Structure 1
């Protein structure tokens, strides 16, 4: 395994670093002020986002997540996604690399028909619209997708959709034009062939957005929507892939999406550590800087260890995807998805602690980032599901010669 950056990746890294320091970080105040003045229930995009998107596109820092567009491997993209994590609310969208659009674009790239791509993938790749992914439901444990109850029943040339979804991230944004909805098309099929995915324009009659769910009291600009689908009728031509292929599409979608979240989480943790180091060097307690207190040094060292460990595991997962495909990388992706959010929470919690009362206010981004990464331990599969997958793989692994020798 070789995780060294290629010349191409190094060039992107330098250009993106410059973009972050020159444009993104200075724009954060404008973004926050707009959101504060607009109010928590206003999901319109702050104008500075569109300004940053134009700057990023002009500089060739656009759609970096998708190999077919950028020419970057997953391993080459990893440090770039990490850089974007330093400004999690602004940078990913400025680069057109924000969830859930990235996962939806990957899904459309893999499974959309020519017409579906023209209608939805092209405007998403151009950053003209946004999208959302409707899978999770409030009435069932959606960590087991076989529980999904929303129905999508064929009626002549249409499918009729009925059900309730929530955590449909992005659907409250006025720019959101399309939903990818997962539902049950055939309850009599084998358990992993009952579900399908279909494209639903958000303005289709019967799509009722009830509210946006806050995360620890914080309302995301794009929103996390609860949606009722009441006899929503869409053409059968809106089906993604084949009927009964929902599980396969979900796995193809969630694999890259999970690792991209983890890449960004490492950048978030790096920012938290940078804030921690700055704080402990400036604050005096008991006659000396916090940085000279042994317990604080321990927290700084633990944070550096955990960040670098997570980065190496993330790079290994990215390398495995590049070399052997998503299926062969599934265990590595499960590992980093279980590790990265917990690591980010650990580092953020330590940073909050050394900031004292300031750490839990909006004067610093730490509390908000902590809330998001605590939620990350649930979305795209909770920690327990990933740990179960890792354990099953380990328990089913053929013994190595060494293991066989010591367990005779």
Structure 2
């Protein structure tokens, strides 16, 4: 596929993908990394060039913009389209080098110099896309389809609406958030200024996926405090915090790990450890669709610490837990019209929605809890948060098609009741 034959939505994605927008879990600034503002500024420039006259960067780096309703649709509820600008800190986000490959089946050599191979046996979903153009990484970074594919689909939808004034639509509200990957995407999101009555995040996975229930999610930090003494004279004196932290991690039920769960099953996931003899900490993600089971997992983490503290008096384990987001399902169910509309948009785009729970979180979860019902639409990508992330081009085009159909349907929505 040459640059002259690439669809516009793909050109947009490639332009965004090469920008490093990795967010920072340990930062207290908004956005968490200043480099996210490079993409925010680019998006404002592009939106202004498309005639989105109010495009701007708001508090915390959130990008806002809108298109007025077409004549006769001024009274219809305003519709929102949302995606996030940051990429996950779980894999390198700098020096992204996308490559477009006509996938013919089997493995794909991503990086000859380093011998990095995309193995179809490990990622069997790729086989569904044989005969299609797929965007891969060079095996050293993530791709950024999560969620720059969503941004590309939305901006291209705006471009198509502006190119064809005959398409009727309600007021179109666009929002691009920073820091979704570190659970701070809506921290500074101003719903009133955004202006939509209902919205859709374009932040899902494979083509056809539609999501409106997600994990209740939180994070635990378990800290082990020890006593440091020179190892040459440590007998009976040293308390190695790392050893007791290792005991704690070892007692986490293996059947509750992400590797052993699927569907609606929750998990506890230790994903970062740092420290020394004197003090060490493990960060643990807590997830479950069921609120009671989520609370039980939180209680389990505290109970394991209490048991080790009682069993080993020299151990000093402390658990701190912070809730991040809750399941959006209960909020979406209050306005079922938002699901009727998006299901129809899929069908008009030639797709039957595949409705499934999100095994993660989304900006839409927090926004729904705050009164803006926001289901989640696919972007087409696979294997997010890692160097084997990839994006079938036709799937990205379909995401854009769904966005355009949602815009068309917004002209027909007289009420959300």
TM superposition score normalised by structure 1: 0.25
Task: Answer 1 or 2: higher relative contact order, Cα 8 Å, separation at least 6.
Answer: 2
Quick check: which has more Rg, 1 or 2? 2
Q: Name the one with the larger helix percent.
A: 1
